[in-house]
């Protein structure tokens, strides 16, 4: 015997989930357009953007270096494992360079920044929200979007490509060290193959992606922070959600862009 109440509850919960996601998408779009609007409204104070850029860019350098170096090393070793079977070690340089510049550099950097800085933004804005500092900003005739979201939006959008270029470089160095010192490929040849295989479009498509990822991290981080309700527990939940949502959106956007670029720039 099927309990009609149970079915009703199930339908209700599906409906609630749909309404929630639509509400989220709406808030996301709204915050994004509000941010774009406030970017062009004076007064312009660049110090806050520089502060954020420092936090996002310079302070992320050590961890970005470490992770991209390892990714370069791993990639070279894994590729070598296959290529040695086919006696085609000569392709390792190409594969490492292309994988890093087109895909792994942008994505890994974005995931690191989302985990490190996106979460920090949510926690900071969330704490400001629960201690009424966001309301206080409004009473002081200041838009929270202008004061809090715009500098973070600009900083993420500008720093992501910079960090990605740096991560690409470190990753290629990681691959280079393995190939030259472990696998016996000549240094000049490796470099030659690397730069020969890379085209401008590989770099630009990677960088376009990172700008979008930067916008995603900034918007999700700020939106989750400004939506916090319910004290310390709310801040914790929002921080977790911010990281999870950023990760999902980054990977989804990556998939869309990769497909798009595959067909646009074959």
Nearer residue to other proteins within complex by CB, 1 or 140 = 140
Residue 25 touches other proteins, criterion: CB under 8 A: no
- Considering the complex, state which of residue 13 and residue 131 has its C-beta at the smaller distance from other proteins: 131
Q: Does 200 bind other proteins (CB under 8 A)?
A: no
Stretch that binds other proteins, among 15-23, 72-80, 125-133, 189-197 (CB under 8 A): 125-133
142 counts as binding other proteins under rule CB under 8 A: yes
Place of tokens 């290629």: 172
Near other proteins by CB under 8 A: residue from 4, 6, 139, 266? 139
Look up residue 154 and give its DSSP letter.
Answer: H
Residues 6 or more apart whose Cβ sits within 8 Å of residue 161? 207, 210, 211, 214
Applying the rule CB under 8 A, the residues between 31 and 50 that interact with other proteins are 43, 45
Q: What is the DSSP letter of 149?
A: I
The answer to whether 220 and 153 have CB atoms below 8 angstroms apart is no
Does residue 12 touch other proteins according to CB under 8 A? no
Alpha helices per DSSP H over the chain? 4-39, 46-56, 61-85, 92-99, 105-113, 119-130, 133-139, 144, 150-181, 187-197, 200-226, 231-264
Residues 86, 141, 188, 266: which binds other proteins (CB under 8 A)? 141
Residue 23 engages other proteins in binding (rule: CB under 8 A) = no
| Orientation angle between helical segments 150-181 and 200-226, nearest 10 degrees | 140
Contact between 136 and other proteins by CB under 8 A: the answer reads yes
Binding positions for other proteins, rule: CB under 8 A: 43, 45, 127-128, 131-133, 135-136, 138-143
């Amino acid at each position: 015997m099927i309990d009609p109440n149970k079915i009703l509850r199930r339908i209700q919960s599906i409906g609630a989930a749909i309404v929630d996601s639509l509400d989220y998408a709406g808030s996301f779009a709204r915050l994004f357009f509000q941010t774009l609007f406030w970017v062009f409204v004076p007064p312009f104070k660049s110090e806050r953007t520089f502060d954020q850029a420092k936090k996002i860019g310079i302070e992320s350098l050590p961890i970005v270096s470490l992770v991209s170096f390892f990714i370069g090393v791993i990639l070279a070793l894994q590729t070598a494992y296959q290529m040695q079977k086919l006696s085609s070690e000569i392709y390792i340089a190409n594969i490492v360079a292309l994988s890093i510049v087109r895909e792994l550099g942008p994505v890994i950097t974005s995931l690191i920044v989302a985990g490190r800085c996106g979460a920090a933004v949510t926690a900071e804005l969330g704490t400001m929200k629960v201690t009424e500092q966001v309301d206080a900003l409004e009473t002081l005739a200041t838009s929270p979007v202008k004061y809090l979201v715009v500098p973070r939006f600009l900083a993420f959008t500008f720093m992501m490509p910079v960090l990605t270029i740096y991560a690409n470089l470190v990753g290629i160095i990681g691959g280079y060290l393995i190939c030259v010192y472990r696998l016996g490929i000549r240094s000049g040849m490796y470099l030659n193959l690397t730069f020969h295989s890379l085209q401008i479009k590989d770099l630009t498509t990677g960088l376009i992606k990172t700008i979008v990822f930067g916008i995603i991290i900034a918007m999700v981080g700020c939106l989750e922070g400004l939506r916090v309700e319910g004290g310390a527990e709310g801040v914790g939940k929002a921080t977790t959600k911010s990281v999870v949502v950023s990760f999902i959106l980054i990977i989804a956007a990556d998939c869309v862009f990769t497909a798009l670029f595959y067909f646009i720039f074959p």
